Amino acid sequence: KEGGGVSAQNKGSWSAFLKSIASFSGDLSSLTAPPFILSSTSLVEFSSYWAEHPSIFVAPAHETDPKKRALLVLKWFLSTLKQQYASRSEKFGNEKKPLNPFLGELFIGKWEDAAGTTELVSEQVSHHPPVTAYHIQNKEHGVYLEGYNAQKASFSTTINVKQIGHAVFSIPAYNETFLITLPNLHIEGLVFGSPFVELNDKTYITSSSGYTAKIDYSGKGWLSGSKNSFVATLYPTGKERDTLYTVKGRWTKSFEIFEGSKKGSSIEVYDAESNPITPLKVAPLEEQDSMESRRAWRSVAAGIGSGDMDVVGAEKAKIEVRQRELRQKEREEGRTWERRYFSLSENDKILKELGPPIGVTPEEDKTGGVWRYDEAKASALTLKSETPLFLTPTSTMTKQTTKGSVQ
Ligand code: CLR
């Protein structure tokens, strides 16, 4: 079915795009996509998908039984998938190509609702390769999430994306940490011009209290199965056969939680469609810092919005020139860009303790190291926040490199 697919007017650029991706590999940001598939949202914003249901995010902090706590963390993780992987398709009718964040780009906001205040900071900690790090906290409930991620793409039949990095969920009151791996994905619907994400393979959540969840993703196959499906089991770490809970369903629709290995009726049904999100609050553009994503990209976003690719190209070039100037200056002064909120962790304790049971090894070569939230840096920033933290880009525009298609 081609309904909702590429329009007659865009057919040419889409087939040129399909031909070009057949030969690309590795860095998704180098993909040159036709204008109609470009999004004006930067990837640095995607970190907010982790906590758009703050009450589900903080719920584990109020459960005293560690195995039920592990189940609540699994439930929260599963509840984030719809936002993470289907929200663009649901909003626009298809997946889009996000803006590629520049080094040091920030996205800062908070959710205010029944769960109190939940705060987000997201920072682009590397540009080559692109790596985004984030930290989400709800201090009232004592729940913290941090992580970093990169993507490695390859092409075979379609775009296949491997996610590198992980997330760490922690509840200090129980001295408890959960290590979370990220799903690999591929793009479906490419030939029809209406791309969307499907998840594949398996991911894990393992906790310092000795529980592990394995989530097995599947989609619509040739003969059976439905879109966006999964089966998850929770078991004592190392004893996969002693299933404590089973969760089964579709991450875009609803899923059911069963005791043990799915005998009898479910103990809970989660309906993703009837759980509205809490919108993130972000400072108005005028009050934002020049390194904050929406402010930095505002002119590019305006160009994408009005379909004026000359504006998009020129405004992107300004950002790129400014970035090259900054890197040049750093080289001359023999220093590197100072990340605002994150630092590299050597011999990371969390990975050392929780990595082995689920086969996680830090792929530092692909992420430039293991990135952790740096409390000291963050509090120093709040102290200084009276004075402007960043300089506004002053670079003059130089020649435009791309026309029509933009990277
Ligand atoms: C980023 C990290 C988030 C989860 C997530 C969701 C969708 C992914 C995105 C990550 C990375 C970029 C991505 C996107 C879907 C499509 C897009 C892979 C992993 C690529 C760059 C777009 C390719 C162009 C098509 C639309 C044709 O937590």
Of 187, 200, 203, which is best to mutate to test ligand 1, by the most ligand atoms within 8 angstroms of its C-beta?
A: 187
**Residue-level pLDDT at 29:** 77
Angle between helices 309-332 and 298-306 (to 10 degrees): 160
Triad 269, 274, 279: Cα angle to 5°: 125
**Residue-level pLDDT at 77:** 99
Element (H, E) at 273: none
Whole-angstrom CA distances from 127 to 38, 62, 185, 342, 354 are: 19, 39, 22, 14, 28
Residue 227 has pLDDT above 90, yes or no: yes
**Residue-level pLDDT at 30:** 78
Give me ligand 1 centre to Cα 190, in Å.
Answer: 14
**Residue-level pLDDT at 222:** 82
Give me ligand 1 centre to Cα 175, in Å.
Answer: 33
Of ligand 1's atoms, which has the minimum distance to the CA of residue 43? 1
ipTM of this complex prediction, to 2 decimal places: 0.99
Residue 327 has pLDDT above 60, yes or no: yes
What tens digit of pLDDT does each residue of 19-78 get?
888 877 677 777 888 988 999 999 999 999 999 999 999 999 999 999 999 999 999 999
- The arithmetic mean of pLDDT across residues 237-247, rounded, is 97
Which residue's structure tokens are 């919108």? 279
**Residue-level pLDDT at 61:** 98
In degrees and rounded to multiples of 5, residue 182 shows phi and psi of -110, 140
Q: Which residues line ligand 1 (CB under 6 A)?
A: 28, 33, 37, 43, 46, 49, 84-85, 95-98, 149, 151, 159, 161, 163, 187, 195, 197
Residue 167 has pLDDT above 80, yes or no: yes
What tens digit of pLDDT does each residue of 334-385 get?
999 999 999 999 999 999 999 999 999 888 888 999 999 999 999 888 765 5
Of ligand 1's atoms, which has the minimum distance to the CA of residue 97? 22
The residue whose CA is least distant from atom 7 of ligand 1 is 85
Which candidate, 39, 43, 134, places its Cα nearest to that of 91? 39
Per-position DSSP letters for 183-211, written without gaps between them: -EEEEE-TTTT--EEEEESEEEEEETTSE
**Residue-level pLDDT at 405:** 45
Give me ligand 1 centre to Cα 236, in Å.
Answer: 33
Give me ligand 1 centre to Cα 87, in Å.
Answer: 11
Least confident range of 71-75, 259-263, 304-308: 259-263
The answer for 218, left when phi > 0, alpha when psi is -120 to 50, beta otherwise, is beta
- The arithmetic mean of pLDDT across residues 114-140, rounded, is 97
**Residue-level pLDDT at 399:** 34
Is the bond leading into 236 cis (omega within 30 degrees of zero)? Answer: no
Of 19, 151, 196, which is best to mutate to test ligand 1, by the most ligand atoms within 8 angstroms of its C-beta?
A: 151
Residue 171 has pLDDT above 60, yes or no: yes
**Residue-level pLDDT at 386:** 45
